[in-house]
Amino acid sequence: MNISLVGRHIELSDAIKDHLMHSIDTLSKYHLDLISVNAVASSNERKGVAIEFTINVAGKNTIVITQRNDDLYAAIDIAIDRAQKALRRLHDRLSDHRNEGMNEAKQAAAAKVNLHEAGEAMEDEIVPTELVLYKPQEVAEVLEKLKESTKVFDVFYDNDGKMRVLYKRADGRFGLY
């Protein structure tokens, strides 16, 4: 990784250079192929001090971070935090499992699943049921069926076409709704 430190209208002391170098070294923890990092510190009488980092990552877009502050050390720290955040996002995007190629995903799926067995398993899960026609019923008729079965309630249409519910109550009697 090439590192370039430049001061415009400001003298970069050894302490500032050491602080910049130490801060730039923290960017290598994301294991990205950093080609170069350029740091430009500039001073303006009205706007204060500014630091600009230009980070070139192999095969990716260039990341440019600019930070202004009255204190150069504070500007460097804030800019490095922003650069770390950008590099962390880039690293997470590159190492995310969802970025797996389509061919790799197809091979992994084919290796784990036997389509013939999966088809047979799906056939076993299908349970045929008889279609119950909802014809009007008498309440007494539904009451007799409910007494003979283990069901707690039964929904049906009465002779007037209303949907009704006949249910067993806790006291052993039956309710009609």
Residue 173 tokens, joined = 């009697």
Separation between Cα atoms, residue 157 and residue 55, nearest integer Å: 74
Q: Domains along the chain?
A: 2-97 (3.30.160.100), 139-176 (no CATH)
Residue 172 tokens, joined = 């052993």
pTM of the model: 0.54
Between 92 and 130, the more confident residue is: 92
Model confidence at 158, pLDDT cuts 50, 70, 90, reads confident
The answer to whether 169 touches 146, Cβ cutoff 8 Å, is: no
- What type of residue is 4? S
> Which candidate, 147, 176, 149, 150, places its Cα nearest to that of 163?
176
Residue 172 has pLDDT above 60, yes or no: yes
> Which candidate, 163, 153, 164, 15, places its Cα nearest to that of 76?
15
- DSSP bridge pairs for 156: 164
